[in-house]
Amino acid sequence: MTFPAKISAKEHDSELLAAVAAGSRRALEELYLAYHRRLARFLSRFTPRYENVEEIINDTFLAVWLSAKDFRHASQVSTWIIGIAYRTALKSLRRQKHHAAAGSLDDYPEQTFDPTMEAEVQDWLKHGLNQLPVEQRLTLELAYHMGHSLEEIAAITECPVGTVKARMFHAREKLRHYLPHLSGAAYDSSARSE
Amino acid sequence: MTFNPQSSDAREHQAMSSLIPWYVNGSIGEAERQRVDAHLLRCADCRETLAQERCVYQAMNAERTVEYMPAASLKRLQARLDGIGAAAAADGAAREKTGRGSMPWQGAMAASVAVMALALSVLAADRWMQFRAQTAPDYHTVTKPTARAPDEVIRAVFSPTVTLVELQAILDEAGVRIVAGPTEAGCYSLAAESRRPVNSSLALLRANAKVRFAESTQPGFAESTQPGTGPGDIP
């Protein structure tokens, strides 16, 4: 049963953040190491460049360090941190948009394609995800990879629940259009299971 | 199954369909889960959507090949925090100094002294630049030299996307082990783990695409060094 472990992880995060608010660099480092992997995975949906991912993570934890004392427990610590990362990444994306040297954002999707990925579905999915606007792509990532609830995603992205549902709806529609073979495979597997 | 868009069935279908992603990821509340379950029993469209979404969910959760190593980036964050701390301390000291009830003429005098000091420092800097231009090489390092770790024979920088398994394989092949690091620039100190000559270990490291930099730090190490790769350039 994972419920108690989940609770204790949340409590541990809260304790760490309280220590960060009190000025503990060690607590900040512990939080950083605990969140680095999932943030890196999440942010790699924004940008294929590791340097950018790292910069966004560090900007996020700089913000955590500076504003930990303002955290009011209105949400979970994880929702708060991922929300900061989300907004930092959007800012970074807008900055890059204004830099001619950074190239067109439309180029990014193609750059994120990893030719070493072997599984066909993953291959198609990755291409399909890269065709989606960033908000839709990240809504899928927050729900399907990070396991966040509808309300948590609304808190992270600072959007109404209806907007999150609409983004998810459009993302699913586009993916379905882009991945016709997925719909066939799904239908087959569904038919077999019934 | 098709619904009249105005009917309550259609509204229920739309509401339940929009919840399927959270039904799939298991974060939906119990009451809503039961409503979706009931709807799925009588809606073939939603059953098909559910199967598709499960496919997407599984594919997105398939294991990724890239593993990040946060130690080097954490060091960079620590350096930024140190900078903020130092700047805040200097700011606080400056405010304390200027805040001690000084007289107007003291301010003017301080300003003139500051202008003189600035002029002198500009002059000195100009002289220093002239001197440097005559003697300095046409490159500069951007990091502080670090002390050589005990037993260190090589310093190396690995690709930030190298996995732990790959890193261990690289070290095993070259017959070295990590004894210190990473530095602020992500540089590791390596010690010899076997009798393999340092030259040979270096060649193996440099031949690996996941190694961005490898250089011997042994005093008097004899190698046909290339420009810009001497010990002074070690990150």
pLDDT per position as a tens digit, B99-135: 554 555 555 666 666 677 767 766 766 676 666 556 5
Q: Which parts of A44-179 fold into alpha helices (H)? A: 50-67, 77-98, 108-111, 120-130, 134-140, 150-157, 161-178
Residues 28-87 of A with CB under 8 A from B: 28-29, 32-33, 36-37, 40-41, 44, 50, 53-54, 57-58, 61-62, 65
Q: Which of A154, A35, A135, A139 is nearest to A93 (CA)?
A: A135
Could you tell me the fold of the domain covering A1-112?
Rna Polymerase Sigma Factor; Chain: A (1.10.1740)
Tell which CATH classification among 1.10.20.140, 1.10.260.40, 1.10.10.10, 2.60.40.10 matches the domain A115-194: 1.10.10.10
Residue B213 lies in a domain: yes
Residue B95 lies in a domain: no
In chain A, CATH 1.10.1740.10 sits at 1-112
Query: Can you give the pLDDT at residue B227?
Result: 41
In chain A, CATH 1.10.10.10 sits at 115-194
**Residue B128 φ then ψ, to 5°:** -65, -40
Q: Which residues, 6+ apart, have CB-to-CB distance to A140 below 8 Å?
A: A129, A132, A168, A171, A175, B21, B56, B60
**Lookup: tokens for B74:** 């954490």
B146 and B232 Cβ atoms separated by less than 8 Å: no
Distance in angstroms (rounded) separating the CA atoms of residues A25 and A32: 10
Residue B197 lies in a domain: yes
Query: Can you give the pLDDT at residue B130?
Result: 67
B216 vs B184, more confident: B216
Q: Which residues, 6+ apart, have CB-to-CB distance to A135 below 8 Å?
A: A157, A167
Residue B86 lies in a domain: no
Interface test with A, best of B16, B20, B24, B68 (most A CBs within 10 A): B68
pLDDT band at B24 (very low <50, low <70, confident <90, very high): very high
What beta strand segments (E) does chain B contain?
152-158, 176-180, 187-192, 211-216
A108 vs B74, more confident: B74
Domain that holds residue B176: 152-220
pLDDT band at B161 (very low <50, low <70, confident <90, very high): confident
Distance in angstroms (rounded) separating the CA atoms of residues B235 and B184: 9
Domain CATH number, residue B180: 3.30.70.80
Residue B120 lies in a domain: no
**Lookup: tokens for A189:** 């597997």
Place of tokens 């502080």: B144
pLDDT digits (tens, 9 = 90+) for B56-103: 888 888 755 566 778 888 998 998 888 887 777 777 777 766 655 455
CB–CB of A62 and B76 under 8 A? no
Residue B143 lies in a domain: no
Query: How many domains does chain B divide into?
Result: 2
Query: Can you give the pLDDT at residue A166?
Result: 95
Predicted TM-score of the model (pTM): 0.57
Q: Which residues, 6+ apart, have CB-to-CB distance to A110 below 8 Å?
A: A130
**Lookup: tokens for A103:** 């190239």
ipTM attached to this prediction: 0.71
Residue B26 lies in a domain: yes
pLDDT digits (tens, 9 = 90+) for A17-41: 999 999 999 999 999 999 998 899 8
Q: Which residues, 6+ apart, have CB-to-CB distance to B145 below 8 Å?
A: B232, B234
Residues 134-163 of B with CB under 8 A from A: 160-161
Q: With a cut of 50, say whether residue A113 has pLDDT above it.
A: no
